[in-house]
Amino acid sequence: MKTAEPTVKRNPEFLEFIIPLAKKFERGILKNFKFWAYDPKMAEAVIVTEEQSIRIPNSNDLMSFHEEDVLILTNHQIRTNEKYEECGKAWTSAAANILVRHLFAPDQEQCSP
């Protein structure tokens, strides 16, 4: 998932950073889930489905998935080597926290005023 570069506005009084949020994924994007793994070279998770691979640069970006997709991630152990086992556990822990605390992407109906 490619994100936009942060925009910096210059103001004599302070420096303001506008950081773009990750876009929401379609519901059921992980329905053909194969596995997910931790990539130590890029320090990000890679989710592989039959159709595509999705790179997630930050564990907070897991909140862009819908409930059913986060459930799929929590039901599967992330692949990693022994050296980076703690990093992998941090990703699975983040997915579990998102599910337990209902921080996943809301349905469209819930977003409207």
Q: What is the CA radius of gyration of the chain?
A: 16
Q: What are phi and psi of 93, to 5 degrees?
A: -65, -40
> Which residues fall within 8 angstroms of residue 36, CB to CB, at 6 or more apart?
45, 46, 47, 48, 73, 76, 78, 79, 91
Residue 45 lies inside a defined structural domain of this protein: yes
Range of the domain at 97: 22-107
- Domain count for the chain, please give it: 1
DSSP structural state of residue 19: -
> So what's the pLDDT on residue 107?
76
Residue 77 lies inside a defined structural domain of this protein: yes
> So what's the pLDDT on residue 24?
86
pTM of the model: 0.76
Per residue of the chain (113 residues), what is the pLDDT tens digit?
A: 555 555 555 555 665 555 566 788 999 999 999 999 999 999 999 999 999 999 999 999 999 999 999 999 999 999 999 999 999 999 999 999 999 999 999 876 444 44
Residue 14 lies inside a defined structural domain of this protein: no
Residue 40 lies inside a defined structural domain of this protein: yes
Longest dimension (CA), the chain: 51
> So what's the pLDDT on residue 55?
93
